[in-house]
Structure 1
Amino acid sequence: MIVNKTVLWFIFFILVFVGTCSCSWGDNSPEFRSCTEACTRSNCSHPSDLEKWSSAQSFPEKFIGWSCSDDCVYGCMWSSMQILFKRYGRVPQYFGRWPFIRILGLQEPASVVFSLFNFVSHLYMLIWFLRTVPSKAPMYSVWILYSLVSMNAWIWSSVFHSRDTPLTEMLDYFCAFSTVLCSLLTFCLRSLQSRPQYMPRLVIICSCLCFYVSHVVSMATVRFDYGYNMKVNITVGGINCACWLVWFFLNRWQGKHIKQGAAAVLAVSVSVLLELLEFPPILWSIDSHALWHLVTAPLPIFWYRFAAGDCLHLLDNLSKPSFKKNI
């Protein structure tokens, strides 16, 4: 566990440092600014020009909601990128992200597809879980809640990567954090499963709910602080992973489902390292963030198998008669 904690703290500090760096030199370039101003003035200023632009826009882009000014930014991004790349020999970033080619109106097509892969993976394993585990099994409803929270997060992840707006960004960030916090809540409730008292569970549920609401309200109404949000996510995620790994070690005798759960947690922890990579998108579609989504897509297979195995283990213990020793 010393090695795991060291890795987690290393990731924490690196991500905080990366989060504070400003790399959007492309949108600050004179080439990009002059291009967008000229495009907006000639294509988006008069009703006749807007009508002409709208008639040429594809249905997917209309459905997603791309505006004339958005199209100017998109077109000028590519034209200025070619100039800046020839001049400096490296691909610039625009508004904190790499240039991505639109496909069917999707802003980051690979991330959208891979987010949907994760959603389908959770949905498929949830159906499998419902068919495998009886509803009377302990922790049954908790795992259903976790699954629904995760699927909701991946839906909003696909929406956000389809088109980045302040609203879709907030929904993606807040829903992503809900999965991390829900996993930690699941661990706490699983640790208290052997205790018949309801009050400790209620206190933990209320504490997690209050903490989540406080975080969301602060980010949404006071200041959308990216650094603070990342610190909270990494801290809660690190505690979550560490707690689960310790629990897996202490309960390794229960069965092979423990190994499957540990493998899922370790894989998630290692996959975070992909976020440290910085390279221009492959085929202008696949960057390190998209690869992270791709890597996490098969992990629910192991995680839900652990959840089902643990529920069946708890149910089996309930069905066994308990004998008190005569003293």
Structure 2
Amino acid sequence: MTGGKLFFLSSITLLLVASWIQCASASSGDLHPHYRTCLNNCITIDCNQNPSQNGMLPWYLRLFFWDCGSDCRYECQIDAEHYFAVNGIPSQQYFGKWYFIRIFGIQEFFSVLFSLFNLIVHYNGYQRMRRCIPDSHHSKSLCLKWALIGMNAWVWSSVFHTRDTPFTEKLDYFSAGAFVLFGLYTSLVLMFKLDLKRGGRIATTILGALFLIAFIAHVSYLSFYTFDYGYNMKANLSVGLLSNILWYYYSWSHRNIGLSWTKVPALSVTALMLSASLELFDFSPIANLVDAHALWHLATVPITYYIYGFVIKSSLYDLNGTSPKVKSMYGKD
């Protein structure tokens, strides 16, 4: 079994197991006395004294596993936000998140929508690579696995933003981590053509095993010791930055061969870093619907499309030694 297959299969299994471990966090909004009083009254009166309340919720709320307690938390956020507005207090976060208007049971509608856009563009890229990259290319299967892990990450991003629970949060965070780490593994194999060197199969397997061990350690620490949001962010940023440096090097090392698409990696990682910087300018959601995180998800959609175009062109160049002209269902890559 190659390192790519080992990492792919093992990481998916680990994601499902570790995501059952619970975690919780608190913020200024859910600690405010007004919110706490509202929540205690709602749970005591509406939930504890009326056990049938869960069945009285609209079907679209029950579809996304809202119950009386979670609905109380949402309704009390509305009440608290009204209280804050009347008293000139800025909007607050609750359990680490801003208040969003719930739409048909979906907590963060536009984050879900933009996550689905990313899922679509990864699926489209997967199909383009299957169609355009010849089976004879040494890393075609690795690129397809990268696309599958990307699709998995955006599926769980959509689920998490639809309904925020400890389980969906962990699957979102860990799937994103797997995607970033597998992206670095893929970058190393593709850029240095490790699978073509003497003993390449053994080298890629060992590298994949090392990456898998690092992923297991990362997930285990967050699951069984403490769910440290700051550490998780720093770990993903560090791995992502290393991948970005490699792709800057790729564009720089190919600067003299006269092919415009070799600039795509440098331009793409620059655009990705700029889009990720939206997270640094966190603000309360516009109209309680669109926040910086949702805009970041939207920004990655066109960038990802061009990355897939680059992967296809570079793969064909590996085989043919000439600048390829590739057509997709949306025109030229």
Task: Determine if the TM-score, normalized by the shorter chain, exceeds 0.5.
Answer: yes
Q: Is the 8 A contact 2:93 2:99 kept in 1?
A: yes
Cross-structure match for 2:313: 309
Equivalent residues, number = 294
Question: 1-side partners of 2:72 and 2:107: how far apart?
Answer: 14
Query: Do the aligned partners of residues 23 and 221 (structure 1) sit closer, same or farther apart at CA in structure 2, a change above 3 Å counting?
Result: closer
Cross-structure match for 1:200: 203
Cross-structure match for 1:14: none
Q: Is the 8 A contact 2:57 2:67 kept in 1?
A: no
Question: 1-side partners of 2:96 and 2:212: how far apart?
Answer: 31
Shift of 1:89: 3.6
Shift of 1:55: 4.2
Shift of 1:138: 2.4
Shift of 1:218: 1.8
Matched, 1:40 2:47: no
Question: 1-side partners of 2:158 and 2:91: how far apart?
Answer: 25
Question: 2-side partners of 1:223 and 1:74: how far apart?
Answer: 26
Cross-structure match for 1:18: none
Q: Is the 8 A contact 1:23 1:96 kept in 2?
A: yes
Cross-structure match for 1:269: 273
Shift of 1:90: 1.3
The 3-state SS of whatever aligns with 1:27 is helix
The 3-state SS of whatever aligns with 1:90 is coil
Question: 2-side partners of 1:23 and 1:257: how far apart?
Answer: 46
User: What's the RMSD between the two structures over aligned residues?
Assistant: 1.7
Question: 1-side partners of 2:181 and 2:258: how far apart?
Answer: 25
Q: Is the 8 A contact 1:261 1:305 kept in 2?
A: no
Cross-structure match for 1:50: 51
Letter in 2 for 1:299: I
- 1:105-184 mapped onto 2 (5 Å cutoff): 105-184=105-184
Question: 2-side partners of 1:173 and 1:255: how far apart?
Answer: 37
Q: Is the 8 A contact 1:138 1:311 kept in 2?
A: no
Shift of 1:26: 1.3
Q: Is the 8 A contact 1:85 1:92 kept in 2?
A: no
Shift of 1:317: 4.6
Q: Quick check: 84-93 or 119-128, which moved more? A: 84-93
Cross-structure match for 2:295: 291
Letter in 2 for 1:195: K
Question: 2-side partners of 1:284 and 1:50: how far apart?
Answer: 31
Q: Quick check: 298-307 or 23-32, which moved more? A: 23-32
The 3-state SS of whatever aligns with 1:44 is helix
The 3-state SS of whatever aligns with 2:27 is coil
The 3-state SS of whatever aligns with 2:28 is coil
Query: Do the aligned partners of residues 254 and 232 (structure 1) sit closer, same or farther apart at CA in structure 2, a change above 3 Å counting?
Result: farther
Letter in 2 for 1:226: Y
Matched, 1:210 2:213: yes
Cross-structure match for 1:10: none
Q: Deviations over 1:126-154 (max 9, x none)?
A: 11221111111122111101100000000
Cross-structure match for 2:14: none
Q: Is the 8 A contact 1:133 1:140 kept in 2?
A: yes
Shift of 1:264: 1.7
Percent identity of equivalent pairs: 35
TM-score by length of 1: 0.86
Matched, 1:239 2:239: no
Query: Do the aligned partners of residues 281 and 228 (structure 1) sit closer, same or farther apart at CA in structure 2, a change above 3 Å counting?
Result: same
Shift of 1:313: 1.1
Question: 2-side partners of 1:317 and 1:201: how far apart?
Answer: 24
Q: Deviations over 1:8-60 (max 9, x none)?
A: xxxxxxxxxxxxxx9921111111111111111111013xx232x33432222
Cross-structure match for 2:325: none
* Greater C-alpha Rg: 1
**Which stretches in structure 1 are left out of the alignment for 5+ residues?**
1-21, 319-327
Q: Deviations over 1:64-101 (max 9, x none)?
A: 10110111111111111111222234111111111101
Q: Is the 8 A contact 1:117 1:297 kept in 2?
A: yes
Shift of 1:190: 1.4
**Which stretches in structure 2 are left out of the alignment for 5+ residues?**
1-24, 323-333
Letter in 1 for 2:228: D
Shift of 1:278: 2.1
Q: Is the 8 A contact 2:153 2:179 kept in 1?
A: yes
Cross-structure match for 1:191: 191
Q: Is the 8 A contact 2:132 2:312 kept in 1?
A: yes
Shift of 1:254: 6.4
Shift of 1:195: 2.1
Shift of 1:267: 0.9
Q: Is the 8 A contact 1:261 1:302 kept in 2?
A: no
